[in-house]
């Protein structure tokens, strides 16, 4: 129930939140999606850790001020409200 058609239950995979979404997107397609540019040149956002404004230019990116890791999944990449934050101190493996 609530399956998005991508093989993951609702709230998982590309519809996960927080660190789970960041890790999912970072691993997706063998890690190739991580540095792929977002359509339209990126999303204007504010770091969910320190509040610094920045542009998330790739599907996984870091705040230029505190290095907080943020991500958005392809099916949700049109709206900055869908950007998820991995949490303070998180570092990509």
* Domain boundary assignment for the chain: 13-85
Q: What is the reported pLDDT for 93?
A: 83
Q: Would you say 36 and 28 are in contact if contact means Cβ atoms under 8 Å apart? A: no
pTM of the model: 0.87
Question: pLDDT tens-digit profile of 50-75?
Answer: 999 999 999 999 999 999 999 999 99
Can you give the length of the chain in residues?
Answer: 93
* Cα torsion through 35, 59, 66, 21, rounded to 10: -120
pLDDT > 50? residue 1: no
Cα dist. 49→21, 52, 59 in Å? 16, 8, 18
Residue 85's nearest CA partner among 7, 54, 28 is: 54
């Amino acid at each position: 129930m609530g399956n998005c058609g991508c093989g993951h239950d609702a709230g998982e995979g590309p519809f996960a939140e927080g660190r789970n979404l960041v890790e999912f997107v970072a691993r997706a397609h063998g890690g190739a999606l991580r540095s792929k540019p977002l359509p339209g040149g990126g999303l204007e956002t504010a770091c969910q850790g320190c509040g610094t404004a920045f542009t998330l230019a790739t599907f996984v990116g870091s705040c230029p001020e505190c290095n907080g890791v943020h991500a958005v999944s392809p099916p949700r990449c049109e709206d900055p409200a869908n950007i998820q934050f991995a949490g303070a101190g998180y570092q990509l493996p």
